[in-house]
Amino acid sequence: MLRRLLTAAVLVVALCAVAQAQSNFPCDAFIKNADGSWTAARNVRLPGPGTSYSVNQGATFTPNMSIMGMNVVSELEQQCPANLVPAAQTAIDVAKYADAKGDIDAQTLTCGQLADASQEDAAFLGTWYVGWYNGQAKKAALNIAATKAAIPKLIVYCKANQDRTVAMAIEDVLKKAPR
């Protein structure tokens, strides 16, 4: 009898811990991508079984990827149903931000505007901004791997810092990136 009571008590404590961890899951810190992966929009701690895990801004989790046995994508999809629709499905056409001649002012485009763009347009603009930034620094070479790695970081940074201009954001992202 005592053994059953102890087992039941342990089970209740475990279920309470899981419920508490689930209720504290930081859904606002993650963005669902069109490919089914999730990206951290800011540095965050994830609750886990018996501990918590640090996740850095820009970290991307793909289906079947796990941290210490926790499938992060599965947890996000269970705990964050409001985040299930990828932002790209509600995207704004970036042509809306162009002037009468069809030009977008690279100095005034905001991160919020980039974040509202489709994934394809955001990647296109991000690539342009990397080139523009490198041109400003008088760099004549393009590091394809570094550029491809910088674009998702720029988009995530912009989603978390929507009031900044993309020109300021690309500088922040590239200064932090190993080159």
List the single range of 20-29, 121-130, 145-154 with lowest mean pLDDT: 20-29
Residues 53 and 120 in one domain: no
97-145 pLDDT tens trace: 999 999 999 999 999 999 888 878 888 898 999 999 989 889 988 888 8
Point out which residues pair with 61 in neighbouring strands: 38
pLDDT at 47: 79
Higher pLDDT pick, 67 / 54: 54
Domain boundary among 60, 83, 106: 83
**pLDDT surpasses 60 at 14:** no
Residues 160 and 108 in one domain: yes
Residues 97 and 172 in one domain: yes
**pLDDT surpasses 70 at 170:** yes
Residues 122 and 159 in one domain: yes
Residues 42 and 67 in one domain: yes
Residues 53 and 130 in one domain: no
Residues 64 and 105 in one domain: no
> What is the tally of structural domains in the chain?
2
Instruction: Assess contact for 160 and 41: CB atoms under 8 A.
Output: yes
Instruction: Assess contact for 85 and 129: CB atoms under 8 A.
Output: no
Domain boundary among 49, 66, 83: 83
| Average pLDDT value for residue range 60-81 | 83
86-102 pLDDT tens trace: 544 457 888 889 999 99
Assign 3-state DSSP to the chain and report helix, strand, coil percentages, each to 5: 55, 15, 30
Residues 78 and 95 in one domain: no
How many helices (DSSP H) and strands (DSSP E) are in the chain?
Answer: 6, 7
Point out which residues pair with 45 in neighbouring strands: 54
Whole-number Å distance between alpha carbons of 158 and 152: 10
| Average pLDDT value for residue range 1-30 | 47
Residues 153 and 100 in one domain: yes
Residues 135 and 116 in one domain: yes
Higher pLDDT pick, 168 / 79: 168
Tokens of 160: 């978390």
Confidence band, pLDDT 50/70/90 cuts, at residue 83: low
Instruction: Assess contact for 130 and 141: CB atoms under 8 A.
Output: no
Instruction: Assess contact for 39 and 60: CB atoms under 8 A.
Output: yes
Predicted TM-score (pTM) of this structure = 0.55
Task: Name every residue whose Cβ is closer than 8 Å to that of residue 136 and which is 6 or more positions away in sequence.
Answer: none
Residue 62 identity? T
CATH code at position 164: 1.10.890
Higher pLDDT pick, 112 / 36: 112
Residues 95 and 170 in one domain: yes
Residues 65 and 125 in one domain: no
Confidence band, pLDDT 50/70/90 cuts, at residue 165: very high
DSSP state, 110? B
Point out which residues pair with 51 in neighbouring strands: 48
Strands (E), 20-155: 30-32, 38-40, 44-48, 51-55, 60-61, 66-67, 70-71
- Residue-number span of the structural domain to which 74 is assigned: 2-83
Domain boundary among 83, 109, 136: 83
